[in-house]
Structure 1
């Protein structure tokens, strides 16, 4: 991997991680389209540590409040309020992606990165997001989140193991189907991602720093720089998205996904880019 590639892919990760357009899919598309190679699942997972660090900083007060309330609630049943329950919702919601990610880790790193699959998922889940926007009542604030919501949205997060689906797209869509407001669904989506994405990034560190096989192999310095870039841009993206979803529908992202998905199918069909 060159330094230009590392910087560009870090920017792509920061821009796309929190938008419902699939960061892993975009990293796969960009690396293949411009350099006829794959940055790899390990590079993707490690640079996601930068964007998750942005979540930790942006929601630092919320996270501290939830963790404190959860610990206090474990000791004192009388102090088990909303924040205590939110702690459990994040823990329980993380289980599906943790289990499936472990069971299918080899497939996620290989066959799932086929660009035909990425293009298809971009389009198919654009329709899912559109349906969620259309049918969702969007009335329930995050204070009304339940354990059922956490399980359903956690299961939707697991679908993002397939590049092109989008972790935030899956969880936000599930939240909208459950009647949550866009902002509530987005906020819980950010919190829900912290354990899973952090664990995936740490788990992938050995493979990323000691790469083997084909693909773009980044040096340790390049990984660090790309991760820092992803953190800075990811922080700005969080702030922008939370403001955007208050007054705008998800249809903007639906249209973008369909355009990119169709364009990718055309490029694949004409042989301009290779699927693997």
Structure 2
């Protein structure tokens, strides 16, 4: 099964509508069969995205009122035969993320006579950049990963599986490694230490917190994309997000 996949956190803050429109134009001319997006929180942003991505006739997302649940949207050029959104149980410190209903969006995609299940997810943020087991935010992420592993172990999920998104957990974290082992997945980026989050003065050396994981039977070449400034509809140039995208070409 050969296909291209992209995961990208679109960043809801700032000029999100204009950036979504610019992203949509880029995606419409891209080679990706499936696109997993995070932080498409506004229903109006979702509408703008759909208008700009006519080459993706199939879409999956959760309920969209009053906000797109989880901010998760999966676009596909191949038919999506089943969609399912599940929010993570809210635990740990009080935080505004509760209103996003972060969770996982499953989409079963048909490639001819074969099927692939794509899990698009966005985990809770770690406000301290401390992923030790005693950290309360790391404990929240570990709880969400345990829920995700339990969902992916459901006996009806028999297709090859790709899990992609903003995990907010770095690639070298024991929390993520334990999840990968428990879910029977393989990290498509291996031990690549390159960050997926745009460095800032406050955070000059960020960790790689966006991931693409897959069933062991799948192989892929990966690369970081969407790193440069792009033209917005009004002529301004701006970065599309505070994240980079990860593109995977499955072989």
Higher strand share: 2
Higher relative contact order, chain-length normalized (CA < 8 Å, sep 6+): 1
Q: Quick check: TM above 0.5?
A: no
Higher helix share: 1
Q: Give the TM-score normalised by the residue count of structure 1.
A: 0.26
